[in-house]
Amino acid sequence: MNYRNLGACGVKVSPLCLGTMMFGGPTDESDSLEIINRAFDDGINFIDTADIYNAGRSEEVVGKAIAGRRDEVVLATKGVQPMGEGPNDRGASRYHLMQALDASLRRLSVDHIDLYYVHAPDYQTTVEETLRALDDMVRSGRVRYLACSNYRAWKLCEALWTSDKLNLNQFVCIQPLYNIVNRDIEVELLPLCRDKGIGVVSYSPLARGILTGKYRPGQPFPEGSRAARNDKRMQQAELREESFVAAQQITAHCDGKSVAPSQFALAWCLANPIVTSIIIGPRTMEQYADNLAALEVTITDADEEFVDGIVPPGCHTGHAFQDTAYPITGRGL
């Protein structure tokens, strides 16, 4: 396993981060523990969860899996999302984040989190309040590093500037959506991360299953798939006919390379040098094994040109971004 520094930090993480959104839910506890232990044995040292995943069950399962192996794992979790019906059961206020961290520590049965994410921006709470609360978490020893997820470039820049101004611990990592059919972050976010030494741990590298090629244009969704289950997140960000068409083109390209399209899609994300690690979210052991094999796939210049021909740099399917003054010619480089 070729471990990578998390941005400018000294901590090293595996290029594949084991995402646990399915664990304790669609994937039962027994199967979840088996996948986690297999990943650790394969050299994956980076695991990602969140309080919202399966109403806390994911964190509980992860806690059981890392018991006795805590020092081998870079453990990431998240707070901000709704965890109850009360007005303060969500958001990036000091009130909620402190409660969320305490609850995550209990569910995980640990005394500290290695990487704590603000799961999404909270536009009703000042950035200063959020960052001061996070800084206190680090100073108390309950959190090692701070991160954010789903922030736009301007919001990350605001947070970095505020941390610097107030001499607070800053975000060292961001977790954005990134895959072949969603390349928007190449326009501003990735250049900012490169310039500021921010680690990038991207999620949804398979576009929630679309890039496996199982969805076909004009055809019913496969039984048991996320789309067939009316997955809300998929409907918000991924469910586009243009992406189904692109996935079929990628599948045909991969047939000529004797590579699974899922592995090609993962390897393509990892081939971007600004990306530190990508989150895989297997539901089964078979999916995990398929994802792991992506580490053996090499993306060539010809592959890059092929992908650019389907989805231009900085674009997503169904939208072609063109800026003649500042053209995007690479992957945020």
| Angle (deg, nearest 10), helices 29-41 and 285-292 | 20
Which tokens is 101 given? 């961290």
Q: Say which of 3, 53, 95, 178 is annotated catalytic.
A: 53
What span, in angstroms and rounded, lies between the C-alpha atoms of 165 and 178?
Answer: 30
248: buried, middle or exposed (CB in 10 Å: 19+, 13-18, 0-12)? middle
Q: Per-residue DSSP letters for 77-101?
A: EEE-S--SSSTTSSSSSHHHHHHHH
Which tokens is 296 given? 């053996």
Nearest to 276 by CA among 325, 203, 216, 220: 203
Check if 117 is active-site: no
Count, residues in the chain: 333
Residue 30: C-alpha distances to residues 23, 66, 136 (Å): 9, 14, 36
What are the residue numbers of the active site?
53
